Every structure is written in structure tokens, then in C-alpha cells.
Amino acid sequence: MVKTIGIIGAMDLEIELLRDNMKLISKENIAGFNYCIGRIEGKNVILTCCGVGKVNAACCTQILIDRFKVDYIINSGIAGGLHKEVKICDLVISDNVTYHDVRKNQMRSCFPFKEYFEGDKYLIDVAIKACEITKKENYHVGRIVSGEYFVSDKNIKNNIIEEYNPHCVEMEGAAIGHVAYLNKIPFVVIRSISDNADNDANMDYDTFEKISAEVSAKLVLNMIDMI
């Protein structure tokens, strides 16, 4: 059975390289989201940009599932590093995702009664193999946390680290994983580090955002070839 891979980036720069490598068949605009339908590495792919933030990401993901019946979801993009071993331009592969701006007790006690959402083992394994084959970037497998603000304060960063022990922080991955979980769709979040989520984050982000976005997208291209 032919599989369809849904790929989501928050910003245009995060999907630019993927779009450049896509044989475009058609486009659809639904609820303001543009969906590119085509093939990459001979595989059926739906590529979309969800915009920044959890609500945008969740809406875009649900449409991707309902309208395009995707079999897998890969979220590609950039993030702020939160682990001492994670450096700028390193890759992080999510083994699970959660929110850093929602209380753990609320996650456990309210539907869907999950403190975090686990990435798909098959997709994680594919991502690891793709990293090991290319041997171009350092990679890590770990927790990715999401919230509704760009983390650029050392004190906030340290609080998130103490509470969640994550590898990196961004603004969409947990919402994408949340929706994928509800719909029983395998997912993984791939992030390349653009900054260290500290007081220098804005300066680092401006310098490395495009480079890091391409690092993540290149890994996803290699993953598509292997799926």
C-alpha cells in the first residue's frame, strides 16, 4: 500500500529546501493553510507551513489528517537548545513531546490524560539511521517541549530545564504530536538548534535560523528516501 507522508514546518524557511526538492502536482488552500501535494524521492508527500504557535499547528495538523489522509507526520524546523550536550546546528529527534506552559497535573487529569506524547519508534529509527548514514551532523534523541513564547531568558530556560529535562524548546511540536496521538497517526518532531534559549537567543537566532532550518530539512529529505 502506498504511504503518504505529511510534513509540517512553522515558517516558510523551514520547508523551503523540501519544497525545492518536491515534484509539485497541485496546491490547496484550506483555512488559510497552503498544502503542496506532490512527490519527494518518489514518495507521496503533503507539505505545509502551519505558522507559529500551538493553535495554528494543531489546526493545520488536523486538516492534514482529515483532508489528505496522511500515514505519517514529520514536523521539521528549528529550536532553542536546553541540554548541555546540545549545540547550535545539532539535531534533536523527539522521543516525546509535551508543553512547558501547561501544568503536568492538568495534562494528566484532563482529556486525553497524557503528560506527554511519544514519537513513533519506526520514524525515530529512520531518523537515527538517516543521521548515521550521512554522518554530517551531531544528533540527539530526547524530549522536545513547546510553549507560546520564544524563550530568550536564562531564568526561564533554567526553570524549564528543571521541570521537564528537555533537549530543546520551540512553539509547535507538542501540539502536532497531541493531534497526531488523538488520531492515531505516527509522528516525529525533528529540530535543529538555532540558539541556546538564553539572553543571547535573539542574536543567535538571527544568525543561524536559515542554516539550522536547512540542517533539519536535509535530515527529513534523507528520511523520506528511507521510508
Q: How far is CA 142 from CA 16, 83, 124, 145, 164, in A?
A: 26, 10, 10, 10, 11
Catalytic residues: 14, 195
Distance CA 186, CA 124 (A): 10
**HEC profile for the chain?**
CCCEEEEEECCHHHHHHHHHCCEEEEEEEECCEEEEEEEECCEEEEEEECCCCHHHHHHHHHHHHHHHCCCEEEEEEEEEECCCCCCCCCEEEEEEEEECCCCHHHHHHCCCCCCCEECCHHHHHHHHHHHHHHCCCCEEEEEEEECCCCCCCHHHHHHHHHHHCCCEEECCHHHHHHHHHHCCCCEEEEEEEEECCCCCHHHHHHHHHHHHHHHHHHHHHHHHHHC
